Amino acid sequence: MDLTLATVTALMRETLTAPRATAARIMAMNPPDDARWLGFVIVVVLSVLVGQMSILVLGEGGFGGSMIFMAVFQTMILLGLVVAVQGIGRLAGGKGTFPDALLLLAWLQFVMIAVQILQLVAMVLVPPLFGFATMLALAVFIWLLVNFTMALHGFTSALKVVVGTVFSFFGLAVVLAIVLSVLGLGPQGMQ
């Protein structure tokens, strides 16, 4: 597996232009489980660092928690997404495995980190474009998630995956709200 800057950049470009084919290509690389978990941990660390950088650039106090807490929170969110994509997809008749879901969502998160950095650049250079860049980033995330889910599970209907994704997000949001409330991290607990 060649991980030079040129190769990674090309793979990111392919991810944005042909996400389903790129997801299949990434799964075909079949790295060992240790490498998949290492990639997962690396994107969690990068996500936390870029998140902290965002807070500094935006000049907001943001969330007052420690970076360790943010890393744990990011890990829970991303791992929850991996479990949801794999588990819900399997319940819907898909054939995806947990290791492949872990691999694809780690890569998806890596691509989204690059998108977030571009958002920050837009914020600094052309502040009025920040809102548009944020909406575009959300659209890119949904586009990639749907296509990666289709590749992972062998689904052929993008519409069914979109509908399943929307309902799953609502269900997971309710569960997350309940868990955070039980932990005392509701809106009052974060002030």
Model pLDDT, residue 131: 86
pLDDT score for 186: 66
Q: What is the pLDDT of residue 62?
A: 56
Q: List the one residue out of 31, 23, 32 whose CA is nearest residue 154.
A: 23
pLDDT along the chain (191 residues), means of 10: 85 96 96 96 95 79 72 91 93 95 97 93 86 91 96 94 88 84 69 46
What pLDDT was estimated at residue 2?
A: 74
pTM of the model: 0.87
Backbone phi and psi for residue 127, each to the nearest 5 degrees, phi listed first? -50, -35
Domain ranges of the chain: 5-182
Q: Can you give the pLDDT at residue 168? A: 86
pLDDT for 188 equals 58
